[in-house]
Structure 1
Amino acid sequence: MLLVLFAGMTAGAVMAQSTVTTIKGTVTDATTKEALIGVSVFVPGTNLGTSTDYEGNYLIRTNQPIGKLQFSYLGYRTATVEVVPGQEQTQDVRLQTDAKQLSEVVVVGKKRKVKYSNKNNPAVDLIREIVDHKSENRPEAYAYVQYEQYDKTQMSLVNTPEKLKKNIFLRKYDFITSNLDTTVIAGKAILPFYMQEEITEQYYRKNPESRKTLVKAEKKVNFGEFVDNKGMMTYMQHMYQDVDIYDNNITILTNQFLSPIADMAPTFYKFYLKDTVTTDSGQQLAKLLFEPRNPSAFMFTGEMFVTLDGTFAVQRVDMEVSKGVSINWVRDLDIKLDFEKNSDGRYHLSKSELKADFGLTQNSDAGFYGERIVSYKNYVINEPQPVAFYEGEAVVKAADALAQDESYWQASRHDSLSEVELNTYANIDSLVNMKSFQRTMDWATALIAGYKRMGPNIEIGPLNTFYSFNPVEGFRLRFGGRTTTNFSKKYMLETYAAYGFKDEKWKYYLGGSYSLTDRSIWEFPVRAINASYQKDTNIPGQELQFVQEDNFLLSFKRGENDKWLYSETYNIDYLHEFENHFSYRVGFRNWKQSPAGSLEYLQVAEEGDVEALQMGSLTTSEASLELRWAPNEQFFQGKLYRTPIANRYPVFTLRATAGIKDLFDSQYEYQKVALNIYKRFYLSQLGYSDVVTEGGYTFGQVPFPLLTIHRANQTYSYQLQAYNLMNFLEFVSDQYASVHIDHSFNGFIFNKIPLLKKTKLREFVTFKALYGSVRNENMPQGNTDLLQFPTFEDGRQATYTLEKKPYMEASVGIGNIFNFFRIDVVKRLSYLDNPNVSELGIRGRFKFDF
């Protein structure tokens, strides 16, 4: 939400800071005058440094007192230049080759007219050696590893200083627009609006494998009640995940990239051996250049240095994502990895830098800049902790992690912050407390999350439910709201009232939640009691968000849609979540449902008698238990619900329900159990698949409204969890199994077609299958205690079972249209003779992703 708000804030001014020293320039070969790529530029005796880009340019900006700058490059003599502190200056440097260091040069040459081949290519032979030695060069090769990790993540607005200064949203906040950095992106300024830092101690045990993280200190910008601060930190870490060059696939910005030293790298990459050098210490290194065979594939372009002492370990990597790769809104993405030598001769990662420049277009001035820098030190090898230490929670946060003062951070940071970075914490804190900013965020929240504040304690919404329509109620108006955390963190009350102008009936809802922790009812891990009463309409089998079934966009539906319910529901439940993302929910519901529209509850009077008796309503009392385990789950907490962040870990959900006869007029006794498993499978260059499997069983004799009514979709939106060409109430089961597969090729096919690869479109295929049945005891024929299956007005059957064959549908889709829209053509593959069905349909959905 905050990123959307800040998207228009693209202007500021630069405050002169006499204590800041800025040095820029170009490094070239003294003889050939060619630009040198990847030259180490650093301040002697400090961790401050950078490296030259592909044009030999560098830039360093610091508020630390410095007097010299050194330039180091393999095969060249180290150069040192004098620096004038507190000034902006240009230092162009020409490096002399060092004949004593350069023991061998093997030039393969990257000639456009010569066809590239892996055969007899020394670069490919070297890559295969690196692949063969990967397991030996990873930290997992040790029995025990321990190290300290410092993590800094930043998000900033990007534009020219002049445009930032004139922006309508920012110009009244002088203290914000003064905090600009003009040294990161040439010709532009960045305005940091988010900063987070973390110092952790990492522990690894090989056998049995275990990882433990001790969070010693944590610091981040706090946006107050408008943003889920914990979720934002999680989302940033998800966007900028750890980069492990030894993994076959590297996940960045929710996309997977093939590592240049993946097992199959020679099949997808081109490699060139530029030279082989010997350092002062006698260490031989090979410099390799690499690039993807297909410039549009999810791979990297860059260079790496590799040891030639028999370990074939990576010493350094400098790589970027090519412009042809289909990543939404990303103009540049650069990664730098540095490795240091252990006492046993192996190399470990010492620093990782990931920097990304975002923009709506490649040529626009406005955008965002993201950066994550992680450094590692104090490695301890093969020194185990007590066995009990590795047990329990994988992440443990020290009690004073959030309470560390600035003196602690100054002493503990692996690298100092710039003045601009230091100011970000205080500036955003001041901004959040300003009334004008709070008003802006309030309206932004209303537009994005659907709730608008009416005073400090109450907010009205969801706004998209205030007006809707359906065949039973006709034109429907609704108004509701809830309390905020300013009213109470432990209590939340919610209500609404709605009126249908066709059925002329009032509907209403009243609910409340009580947190059993000192946090709000939304903050993970939740421990809360929820109770509610609702009297409203709903479609049988369509379990949407409990109080949002009248969303305006769901009003538009295809085909016949007049079999509804009037429901009166009392509900109470208790939710208990744990830090390891296991949770359980126990609850009780009393539900009275009455047919509405053309739906009727009909019983046969006696066996052999065709006379039908109409039942006015059906009442059930249910006790329920839900167990859920989502290991390593990540999510962003919104105003209405959590938005999960997909990763490679599965999610298990087990639900059990028991109907209790004669309790509060309950008419039936039964038991239900269902297991749902979700898993995303990453397939490297072929994209990824989201797979959902589910199975369920109903014990006891029940009428059709209490069977499993399979979730159908008659709207024009594509719903991942529903059957998009199945009609409402079309199929019921008391035992079933299903599988949903949604696969994204992520541009794998379109990127190979010249006319399509520039569009950055992405391909999707889906397949859904459902098999089920209804036991004889639950079939209406011959059972006078049961309700007859619904029919259409002309007498044709409307509800069926699935004994004959599974219900199946498939679709092909094109995604990333305008960077956020997907369209699917859906084909129904079975039960085509059922009345009023659609064999083919076009469905769309919005999806914001990189």
Structure 2
Amino acid sequence: MDITRYTKNFLLITLLYLLPATLFAQSQTVITGIVTDAKTRQPLPFVTVSFNNSNIGTNTNDQGRYSLKTSQRFMQIKATYVGYKPVVVNIVAGKEQAVSIKMESTSEDLAQVDIKGAKRARYTNKDNPAVELIRQVIDHKEQNKPEAYDFVEYKAYDKLQISFVNVSEKLGDKKLFRKYKFLLDNKDTTLVPGKSLLPVYLNEKLLQTYYRKNPEKKREIQLGEKNVNFGGFLDNEGLNQYIKHIYTDVNIYDNNIMLITNQFLSPISDVAPSFYKFFIQDTVVVNNQKLIELTFTPRNTTDMLFEGKIYITQDGNFAVQKAELVINKNINLNFVKSLKVILDFEQNPDKRYHLSKSETMADFGFNKNRKGGIFGDRMVTFKNYLVNQPRPDTTYTNGNGEVLEEVQNRSEDFWAKNRLDTLTTAESKVYKNIDSLNNMPSFKRAADIATLLFAGYKSFGPVEVGPSNAFYSFNPVEGFRLRLGGRTTTELSKRYYFETFGAYGFRDEKFKYFLSATYSLNDKSIYRFPQNYIRASIQRDTKVPGQNLMFIQEDNFFLSFKRGVNDKYLYNDNYKFNYVHEYRNHFSYALGFNNWTQSPAGSLYFVGNANSTTPNVVNNLTTTEATLNLRYAPGEQFFQGKLYRIPIPTGNPIFTFNYVKGMKGVFNSSYNYNVLDFRVDKHFYQSIFGYSDVSLQANRLFGKVPFPLLTIHQANQSYAYDIESYNLMNFMEFVSDRYVAFKIDQHWQGLFLNKIPLIKLLKLRETTTFKILKGSVSENNNPNIDRSLYQYPVKPDGSPITYALGNAPYIEGSIGLENIFKVIRVDVVKRFSYLDHPDIAPIGIRARVKFDF
């Protein structure tokens, strides 16, 4: 089970239900009425009507009607609408009354229809003027992209707000929540029609961007940042990084648009006519510029596609002047009730257009029919746009990504002068409200409980105890195993970190332990990028040979349940020293020194010269290793917590190189050897075809060593599906001193099931996985040839347990369904080779918990 992703996503999603749905209380002042055009007398929908100088408001419906209620005393209401002059009307406080509003259009009002596309009984791309138009837009994309200029620079104001939706007005009157009334009363009813928003998170950034086309380089200089601070409950930087991963920048000129961790096909993608239907609606005039209004809709409403409209210029450039992108209710997307993107463009002096404002609004919730949930709104405003003005090379290359401390501590006067947009009344109160909330003991207690439930650690200020899922486990060697551990936090020190645990097995009656001490060399948390620390550790513990679980502790309770025989273990004594150094370009290196003693446990044994009259029984195997790890992950991002960090998938490859040097005679080490290992991982986004995770690894050992020092390939005998392991391989079944491994894990995101009637209502998603392992053991490491080496383990009857990979590769594949109840993945796994081995499972069913949008 992918516990790190489970923790990260479950913590975010459960916030949806921290507050109940709305229960509007009866108020003293009730205003109802209709808003109409003063000239045509036609009703105006979506007009914002609010009590003047307040954040209490609503929007008119399709018939132009509205209704306002409040217990506060206001003397005026105000109506605002794009293309119309604002209207302020006097009212009588404390009474129910009807107020009709007439609005006059401004000079920027849109002109009426010039032409309309004819509707066809059956949609076709052939001889369709809308499709011909969109193909012109596609053909002109290269000249209209921002990257078409040799040099571009601009200033951007980035505002991200997260709010609870439709929180009950009566909630603040309940005894449990009375002390939080100051927070619950800070609502905004003007931003989204029919929704009352309670802002709880706000992040503002002011950036200066410089772009150079050749050689291509983009530098962002952060001029200011202001962020809600949740104290020790949530890591602000990590939370902001993850939210920005959900609300990524939208460039309609890209073929694919990343949103909510999924790729959507752009309506002006190169292949858009094959997946979208297009219709010409109107020609309109905005600021004396004639535009064509084009609507579009998916051919299949369950695919990762948008619907909406775009406005195209008629000046020969075929540029996008405005776009509105939304998703329909049938799309196979979890926890998202609605999503809307609005893009506005401004004209440059050279008559081409640049993005002037981008807004992404998403409404999250478990149930699309419930009124509660979480609403997120990211708005980016662009100003001071300048093109083809070259700067010195250092402008594009120096200090990219570095954020100075003073940037995060800008004054209120700085923000008042430099915001390129305004805060609403509710938004302006968020910083103070959350600071007050963090100082309340009752909130600190609730946050402490949440941390224990979701992260598995109980905080005691400078120390945390956990993880809770490892307190109890069992295995055939130790029997019942109890473990208690903990670690220090940044409240103790930002430079010194200690981590420890103690465990006891009731069957082997042995104590196990771990202790590490880490020192940060850059005065930052060792979990923060870029890392720069030294660590020393000592550990005595049990382990299944060859197992290196990537996501969770081996003594996790859920991994105690295993299939087949599982009684071959090792007692490991490790003394380690490590130095890790990361750079801002995401290159890192790590140096290590490890003295490692392995002692067989359970039915495992080490014996050489097995068939001779004097077999050599070995009680322990000691090696000393020096290690070098090189890693390059360009553009890598992290969801960072105060005491953890989790990589966020990007489309960039990750390269890893490891070198291990075994040193005979150093601290009782018995062998000389060298190991080279190279691996590349890549996450491929494939738009409507889903995504895939691909890895390729090659490994070679030089030297003569016994089988415990060979690569014991990572098997999985639990019932949980493990991406990194071979799920139908038995423990210790295969060893190699050279191998090549390839893995592809394909997520189709419902590409096929979405086309099947009724089945598509279940929102299931298909997965296919393929793994192949080709390896061998050289003659000098083969105990069947060199009898002085440790014998491969065998059963009591002498039949083999461990094999060297032969001429045929080990092959395993699976077909699965994920998104079952939105969180479960189940795979049917098939083993295709070495089916003659005893006690193997040629086919099996495995499951894992996985949260995804």
- What TM-score, normalized to structure 2? 0.91
Task: State the SS of the aligned residue for 2:733.
Answer: coil
Q: Does 2:464 correspond to 1:459? A: yes
Aligned to 1:216: 223
Given that 1:27 and 1:57 are in contact with CA atoms closer than 8 Å, whether structure 2 keeps it comes out as: no
Residue number among 170, 182, 187 corresponding to 1:180 in the alignment: 187
Q: Does 2:696 correspond to 1:693? A: yes
5 Å-filtered alignment, 1:295-314, equals: 295-314=301-320
Unaligned runs of 5+ in 2: 1-10, 51-56, 70-74
| Count of matched residue pairs | 830
Q: How far does the alpha carbon of each residue in 1:699-747 deviate from its partner, in whole angstroms, 9 at most, with x for none?
A: 1111110011111111111111111111111111111111110111111
Change (3 A) 1:54 1:542: farther
**How far has the Cα of 1:486 moved from its partner?**
1.9
Residue number among 222, 227, 238 corresponding to 2:234 in the alignment: 227
Given that 1:509 and 1:532 are in contact with CA atoms closer than 8 Å, whether structure 2 keeps it comes out as: yes
Unaligned runs of 5+ in 1: 43-48, 73-77
Given that 1:27 and 1:95 are in contact with CA atoms closer than 8 Å, whether structure 2 keeps it comes out as: no
What is the distance in 2 between the residues matched to 1:157 and 1:289?
32
**How far has the Cα of 1:498 moved from its partner?**
1.2
What is the distance in 1 between the residues matched to 2:118 and 2:434?
51
What is the distance in 1 between the residues matched to 2:66 and 2:287?
24
Q: How far does the alpha carbon of each residue in 1:156-193 deviate from its partner, in whole angstroms, 9 at most, with x for none?
A: 11124336436786443122112122223444422111
Q: Does 2:352 correspond to 1:346? A: yes
Task: State the SS of the aligned residue for 2:798.
Answer: coil
What is the distance in 2 between the residues matched to 1:288 and 1:26?
28
Q: Does 2:519 correspond to 1:509? A: no
Aligned to 2:412: 406
**How far has the Cα of 1:462 moved from its partner?**
1.1
Task: State the SS of the aligned residue for 1:478.
Answer: strand
Change (3 A) 1:32 1:740: farther
Task: State the SS of the aligned residue for 2:499.
Answer: strand
What is the distance in 2 between the residues matched to 1:466 and 1:264?
53
Aligned to 1:520: 525
**How far has the Cα of 1:53 moved from its partner?**
9.0
- Partner AA of 2:702 in structure 1: F
Given that 2:585 and 2:634 are in contact with CA atoms closer than 8 Å, whether structure 1 keeps it comes out as: yes
Aligned to 2:662: 659
Q: Does 2:253 correspond to 1:253? A: no
Residue number among 385, 390, 396 corresponding to 1:390 in the alignment: 396
Q: How far does the alpha carbon of each residue in 1:644-675 deviate from its partner, in whole angstroms, 9 at most, with x for none?
A: 21111111111111000000000000011111
Aligned to 1:75: none
Q: Does 2:787 correspond to 1:784? A: yes
**How far has the Cα of 1:785 moved from its partner?**
3.1
Task: State the SS of the aligned residue for 1:257.
Answer: strand
Q: Does 2:606 correspond to 1:601? A: yes
Aligned to 1:330: 336
Residue number among 557, 572, 584 corresponding to 1:552 in the alignment: 557
Given that 1:11 and 1:170 are in contact with CA atoms closer than 8 Å, whether structure 2 keeps it comes out as: no
- Partner AA of 1:108 in structure 2: G
Given that 1:306 and 1:312 are in contact with CA atoms closer than 8 Å, whether structure 2 keeps it comes out as: yes
Task: State the SS of the aligned residue for 2:142.
Answer: helix
Given that 1:287 and 1:304 are in contact with CA atoms closer than 8 Å, whether structure 2 keeps it comes out as: yes
Residue number among 746, 749, 754 corresponding to 1:746 in the alignment: 749
Q: How far does the alpha carbon of each residue in 1:512-556 deviate from its partner, in whole angstroms, 9 at most, with x for none?
A: 111112222222222111111111110111123699321111101
Residue number among 542, 566, 576 corresponding to 1:561 in the alignment: 566
Q: How far does the alpha carbon of each residue in 1:577-620 deviate from its partner, in whole angstroms, 9 at most, with x for none?
A: 12222211111110000111111111016xx7365321111000
**How far has the Cα of 1:16 moved from its partner?**
14
| Farther off after superposition, 140-149 or 483-492 | 483-492
Aligned to 2:18: 8
- Partner AA of 2:284 in structure 1: V
What is the distance in 2 between the residues matched to 1:97 and 1:196?
34
Aligned to 1:848: 851
What is the distance in 2 between the residues matched to 1:673 and 1:56?
71
5 Å-filtered alignment, 1:640-789, equals: 641-789=644-792
Given that 2:58 and 2:190 are in contact with CA atoms closer than 8 Å, whether structure 1 keeps it comes out as: no
Task: State the SS of the aligned residue for 2:179.
Answer: coil
Change (3 A) 1:371 1:469: same
- Partner AA of 1:635 in structure 2: F
Aligned to 1:106: 115
- Partner AA of 1:438 in structure 2: K
- Partner AA of 1:7 in structure 2: Y
- Partner AA of 1:675 in structure 2: F
Change (3 A) 1:452 1:160: closer
Given that 1:133 and 1:312 are in contact with CA atoms closer than 8 Å, whether structure 2 keeps it comes out as: yes
Aligned to 2:168: 161
Given that 2:545 and 2:570 are in contact with CA atoms closer than 8 Å, whether structure 1 keeps it comes out as: yes
What is the distance in 1 between the residues matched to 2:77 and 2:433?
31
What is the distance in 1 between the residues matched to 2:467 and 2:278?
55
Q: How far does the alpha carbon of each residue in 1:52-103 deviate from its partner, in whole angstroms, 9 at most, with x for none?
A: 9988799999xxx99997756xxxxx64353249999977668899999869
What is the distance in 1 between the residues matched to 2:108 and 2:246?
44
Change (3 A) 1:834 1:688: same
Q: Does 2:592 correspond to 1:587? A: yes
Task: State the SS of the aligned residue for 2:545.
Answer: coil
- Partner AA of 1:119 in structure 2: K
**How far has the Cα of 1:13 moved from its partner?**
9.7
Q: How far does the alpha carbon of each residue in 1:420-459 deviate from its partner, in whole angstroms, 9 at most, with x for none?
A: 1111111111211222211111111111111112x32322
What is the distance in 2 between the residues matched to 1:845 and 1:573?
33
Given that 2:48 and 2:79 are in contact with CA atoms closer than 8 Å, whether structure 1 keeps it comes out as: no
Aligned to 1:431: 437
Change (3 A) 1:527 1:250: same
Change (3 A) 1:273 1:690: same
Change (3 A) 1:70 1:474: closer
Residue number among 206, 216, 241 corresponding to 2:213 in the alignment: 206
What is the distance in 2 between the residues matched to 1:802 and 1:613?
26
Task: State the SS of the aligned residue for 2:790.
Answer: coil
Residue number among 523, 529, 535 corresponding to 2:540 in the alignment: 535
Aligned to 2:157: 150
Given that 1:13 and 1:180 are in contact with CA atoms closer than 8 Å, whether structure 2 keeps it comes out as: no
What is the distance in 1 between the residues matched to 2:707 and 2:174?
61
Aligned to 2:294: 288
What is the distance in 2 between the residues matched to 1:100 and 1:788?
87
What is the distance in 2 between the residues matched to 1:547 and 1:369?
32
Task: State the SS of the aligned residue for 2:134.
Answer: helix
What is the distance in 2 between the residues matched to 1:384 and 1:491?
46
Task: State the SS of the aligned residue for 1:790.
Answer: coil
Task: State the SS of the aligned residue for 1:401.
Answer: helix
- Partner AA of 1:700 in structure 2: G
Given that 2:813 and 2:831 are in contact with CA atoms closer than 8 Å, whether structure 1 keeps it comes out as: yes
Residue number among 497, 502, 505 corresponding to 1:492 in the alignment: 497
- Partner AA of 2:151 in structure 1: Y
What is the distance in 2 between the residues matched to 1:24 and 1:137?
45
**How far has the Cα of 1:343 moved from its partner?**
0.5
What is the distance in 1 between the residues matched to 2:831 and 2:176?
50
**How far has the Cα of 1:683 moved from its partner?**
1.3
Aligned to 1:573: 578
Q: How far does the alpha carbon of each residue in 1:277-333 deviate from its partner, in whole angstroms, 9 at most, with x for none?
A: 34563x321111110111111111111111011000001111210010011111111
Specify which structure has the bigger relative contact order, considering alpha-carbon pairs within 8 angstroms and separated by 6 or more residues.
2
Aligned to 1:369: 375
- Partner AA of 1:792 in structure 2: K
Task: State the SS of the aligned residue for 1:517.
Answer: coil
What is the distance in 1 between the residues matched to 2:587 and 2:491?
29
Given that 1:623 and 1:657 are in contact with CA atoms closer than 8 Å, whether structure 2 keeps it comes out as: yes
Residue number among 184, 193, 198 corresponding to 1:191 in the alignment: 198
- Partner AA of 1:626 in structure 2: N
Identical-pair percentage: 48
Aligned to 2:807: 804
Q: How far does the alpha carbon of each residue in 1:87-120 deviate from its partner, in whole angstroms, 9 at most, with x for none?
A: 9997766889999986973322446xx1111111
Change (3 A) 1:546 1:675: same
What is the distance in 2 between the residues matched to 1:262 and 1:278?
26
